Structure 1
């Protein structure tokens, strides 16, 4: 049985990759690009990627639902990163060795402080009781999203701890062509990772909301399936991303039967993103938010606004508008 939405901080590419000494298109601080070769990754072959469930890779910011203060809470992604001195040594090592691998970290001294509530992500390796950085020099982790933290105001807009609800974008149970935006119990999302998408996240490639009426929502990882995925072949995948309407996505994540996750990003194939309108933003959506929380709570205006649209259908996700 496939387990969707599991917490995993590093997912291998479906193809064997190589490093090019060019500025990364995805990360400003990364002075190299990771690009795919036509050869399928042995990890993907071993996990039988051809029989895996293909899902859309969402372009937002990663979140996690687990307990905090004794109840289900939304947690925001926060990587513990090197301090300035360690970052300089790390970049010098990358330049001279042409790789990130093998850099000698001193975890107790090389990294910036994080809040006391911070926890490392699952599957982060530990050494002598300390979480260890990945190849990019980051220690992936999480912090709880509390309502009084302005840094995570868009995260806060999609959860209401009073009623224990979250705003989730998900496939309609009766029509696979349609999406729903629904208020879902946080308890139903326990131990899942999700993507926060919307107006103020990553340039809003899905066209949700506007500056005046921002809209954000959570999408469980693995929940948006690709119905007619291309074969795992370099040229066919390139053609699918470039020519297919359904290929207007950031990437694909394959969920294999043994629990392995495999991905490919458009940047791996030398393709741009976003590239015109997204496939997700063009899908029809039904609002199914019947929220009965405290309407005087101004931070929950998104719940109130969507509740006023309960039952409304929009031709495209990007067409959702609130009444003036």
Structure 2
């Protein structure tokens, strides 16, 4: 196993959190709810959160671009999880103490096997040469997305290894209010993490595509800025999430000047997600997939479909559709 560059880290909440005795809204196996208090996390204060760049936390599945077989490849998130017996012990510990802390793992015996090419994420800690699980009992990691793996067919649809490109959604180069979908060289995305969003990912909160014509794309983490973000204040954030059109996001990730990242989810504040139309789904988008028809002869249908729409503007991201 090799350790990676700066990719995966646990991002603390911008507020000090507390534990409530009720079923987690995010994790089925967790018999307690982590909620935000109205006290700003000292980590955020030390990093000068008021001067940080606020970006949209996207609701998809995490991906990573790094080398595989000598070329830049897309890697899918795959956590190594405990086997049934170990998970049963872990849940019992969680239920009795309402906490994940203090549980002792047998790293060599408690976890399911993973593919040979699996690699642990960067910030995973090690003991005696073995990667250690996080507080949820998972060992975060990655597997390369290969074209013949049906398990990652939606990941595969957004990459073309022959062309060496990925379909990326990002703010427009000339107008940040306008989004664009374009083919970006994988080499330009190397050592970046991105979010795969679309029709068949996490319930599709952004309304992309349909079952008949699914639409997926990658979004680089930190690339979608929050316009006119609220102050880091519990009541103001609650109000912004519920009342502002720009607050129809899953959460915010603040990028501080010293490299610190802090975040808040709507569920930290006891708010629903999704809750109606999303801010991202309602933004206009232009299709800018360059190239030639010959270049995409061996590409996925998605590359070809977007190429034929080059220059087309949709009033809303969720309005993207292809000709039958």
TM-score range with shorter-chain normalisation? Answer: over 0.9
The answer on whether the counterparts of 1:6 and 1:193 sit within 8 Å (CA) in structure 2 is: no
Q: Aligned pair count?
A: 319
Aligned: 1:97 with 2:128 = no
Residue 296 of structure 1 and its aligned partner are, at CA, apart by 4.8
Query: What is aligned with 1:41?
Result: 41
The answer on whether the counterparts of 1:167 and 1:181 sit within 8 Å (CA) in structure 2 is: yes
Query: What is aligned with 1:163?
Result: 163
- CA distance in 2 between counterparts of 1:318 and 1:198 reads 10
Answer with 30-39 or 277-286: which moved more.
Answer: 30-39
Query: What is aligned with 1:316?
Result: 316
* Unaligned segments of structure 2, at least 5 residues: none
Residue 295 of structure 1 and its aligned partner are, at CA, apart by 4.7
Query: What is aligned with 2:226?
Result: 226
RMSD: 1.2
- CA distance in 2 between counterparts of 1:261 and 1:320 reads 32
Residue 218 of structure 1 and its aligned partner are, at CA, apart by 0.1
Aligned ranges 1:117-136 → 2 under 5 Å? 117-136=117-136
Residue 176 of structure 1 and its aligned partner are, at CA, apart by 1.3
Query: What is aligned with 1:197?
Result: 197
- CA distance in 2 between counterparts of 1:87 and 1:255 reads 34
Aligned: 1:207 with 2:230 = no
Specify the SS of the correspondent of 2:318: helix
TM-score using structure 2 length:
0.96
Q: Deviation per CA, 1:285-306, whole angstroms, max 9, x where unpaired?
A: 0000124456553x60000000
Query: What is aligned with 2:305?
Result: 305
Aligned ranges 1:1-324 → 2 under 5 Å? 7-292=7-292, 295-297=296-298, 300-324=300-324
* Unaligned segments of structure 1, at least 5 residues: none
The answer on whether the counterparts of 2:50 and 2:232 sit within 8 Å (CA) in structure 1 is: yes
Specify the SS of the correspondent of 1:110: coil
Residue 23 of structure 1 and its aligned partner are, at CA, apart by 1.2
The answer on whether the counterparts of 1:194 and 1:220 sit within 8 Å (CA) in structure 2 is: yes
- CA distance in 1 between counterparts of 2:27 and 2:98 reads 17
Answer with 127-136 or 60-69: which moved more.
Answer: 127-136
TM-score using structure 1 length:
0.96
- CA distance in 2 between counterparts of 1:159 and 1:31 reads 39
Residue 29 of structure 1 and its aligned partner are, at CA, apart by 2.1
The answer on whether the counterparts of 2:31 and 2:98 sit within 8 Å (CA) in structure 1 is: no
The answer on whether the counterparts of 1:9 and 1:140 sit within 8 Å (CA) in structure 2 is: no
Q: Deviation per CA, 1:103-146, whole angstroms, max 9, x where unpaired?
A: 10111001010001000111111111111111111100000000
